[in-house]
Structure 1
């Protein structure tokens, strides 16, 4: 199972405990640092030398490097977009989709509500993490996560522990903002109705301030046969620990569907 994280995020944001639940299903879980994050290849801040399609193809390259012909994909936020695009462009490589706190890549889906102006202003005013001051960088990452988490679903101790790991491992925290600048040529397939029969779970929070709940509902409706799991109180974040049992049960259902299809 390949897990793709959100924009500007390292692989560390996939909580060890959550991944352990997936491993307990008998899955091999693979986390990776996207370009300009963690220990991956970096470009100068403000000058990314790649496109959104390159970010998509990087995920496929990870599967190739591991010799995985067909994998289960889990995508969080921007990682959910990458997972959708991979399924559309390379359907033979994708066994199932779990799409968390994301929105449809299909322009036919909508119109959908935008993030609240207050959240947008708060994010715009957030300090940029600076690798030269690790303590301040950790604080900045924690506060950025607090802004988008559900009001009752923010675990500061967990988030701070992950933020410390991110700062310790990252070659250049400022370069991660390049993700906001990458372009998408827009010439790939984007019709989600072309994915009938692909086992899909959409996990979305009722308190997501970036992609309000309507995004998750519309995404699930756009993919034939997709199941929607709404997590009450969850914001734009990895599902909180209290919901892991039900989320992992949903993933297990997808894995079971794929196994049954292979045995048929």
Structure 2
């Protein structure tokens, strides 16, 4: 097995990740029980910590799949410990996505773990490694929306419903953005192994700018409206009301006064 080439300490869960997980658990409990003096602050801490946990799982999924694909160096790099400080670009992977959530309420794709592509043999393996990260976000979204599409909301406090709805929104936006076939995003990584050498060479100079082009396009009103309409439609198909997601995002910004119908 490929995993036999990694040492035990290289697979040990990082205390940093466990601390973030503990914050998520405690603040989630505070939202559920209405224990906190400020519900908005509790939702902010719960959603932010859960969002960071999902980013760590996203990167872990890339690394773990790469390990089984043949890149045995991911363990020594710390990628299997779920430690966000071990990533190649911690600012891009953690800080920037968190700032975008705070400022704009959108699940920004992060990056990156450095995979030694030359160790991976086979186009399917390369594609699967790229797809693994967004699939982790999809799985996280499924968990967040489960109470809605299972019609199991009886007994779930309103504030917690709002927080879950907003967290699901972040996961869905991150997954869809990351799956776009744009250079620099995972969607292109899925497609790239199947492109000809000539096409890849033509695209290569634009790869560093793909991510920023996508962000810029989201500021175009028509593109922005189409994208978020698609997100809302997907969430509603999973039983998540648009009002719940909206109230979750409003309460998340505890420094602003939420609309009266969102008060809990």
* TM-score (structure 1 length as normaliser): 0.29
- Which entry has the higher C-alpha Rg, 1 or 2? 2
Q: For CA contacts below 8 A with separation 6 or more, give which structure has more relative contact order.
A: 1
Q: Which has the higher helix share?
A: 2
